[in-house]
Chain A
């Protein structure tokens, strides 16, 4: 694992999430409310096809979004489909889905993805950010 040379690092904006990806670690954090979400996620999907190390024994994925719109939801599903393919090839996948205290929206979102993809997420409760609902 080479943390000093990430394969991809994108800074967060006010409507798009921060991304960190280095073959064995994938992190998505912030907010995802782009109207044309696929424009943002398409390169990430391609990167997962090309950049994820199929010989990795383990990949850690952390999703810490405060909110995502439905267009982003479909993109995140497609991203998780790529993750599932790696899981099916025998790679151990650890998905950490962060949820602010009792945030129904994010918890339901994670549970739906788990159900549809047959992946198991671990849920990490993070404090409610009073200053940033979105």
Chain B
């Protein structure tokens, strides 16, 4: 039995995100106890939800956060415009190809870049996820019946072992 699953399937608004964040905090504290990296672990889920809310074109987002053995696994699925979906896949692939030092430098460079994306993103979310331990970050982009819309599935696994 998995004692620590948070799952959500529905519309994603700022209010829902607040509620999910509260639930996530409660589950993380109850199952992992007080750890120095607790917020760091939860930040992966929050950044994935931010991205989903920012780019979602459909009316539903599927989200799950679970602990399996010594890993936290976060999954988010949403529909997005083709260019946003493909850019997500490309950016994750590029970031995963970077060394730890390169990720840190890219993060700093992006923070100093005053521009925000057309959807209001800072361009830091993917780098933050990988920087905070999400080295196993997979993105699937699947076509839908609508040629301009894709399904984006993101899965991030993070080790709980320091």
Contacts and interface: CB of A to CB of B under 8 A. Distances in A.
B121 A71 contact: yes
B14 A35 contact: yes
Nearest to B12: A35
Contacts of B29: 130, 133
Given A73-B124, A116-B108, A67 B43 contact: yes
Contact of A70 (B17, B38, B108, B122): B122
Interface string B113-146: 0101000111111011000100000000000000
Interface in A101-130: 102-106, 112, 115-116, 128, 130
Contacts of A128: 34
Given A67-B43, A74-B110, 18 more contacts: A14-B18, A33-B50, A35-B53, A37-B122, A38-B116, A39-B120, A66-B39, A70-B47, A70-B124, A70-B125, A71-B122, A74-B123, A102-B36, A103-B39, A116-B111, A133-B29, A134-B21, A134-B24
Interface of B: 14, 17-18, 21-22, 24-26, 28-29, 34, 36-40, 42-43, 46-47, 50, 53-54, 107-108, 110-112, 114, 116, 120-125, 127-128, 132
Given A38-B116, A74-B122, A112-B111, A133 B25 contact: yes
Contacts of A69: 43, 46-47, 50, 125
21 contacts: A15-B17, A15-B18, A15-B21, A33-B21, A38-B116, A66-B39, A70-B47, A70-B122, A70-B124, A70-B128, A71-B120, A71-B121, A71-B124, A73-B111, A75-B122, A78-B114, A102-B36, A104-B39, A105-B37, A133-B25, A134-B24
Given A33-B21, A34-B14, A35-B50, A104 B36 contact: yes
B14 A105 contact: no
Given A33-B21, A133-B28, A134-B25, A74 B50 contact: no
Determine the interface band of chain A, counting residues with CB < 8 A from chain B.
20 to 34
Contacts of B112: 77, 116
A38 B120 contact: yes
Interface in A72-94: 73-75, 77-78
A103 B37 CA distance: 7
Nearest to A38: B116
A37 B34 CA distance: 28
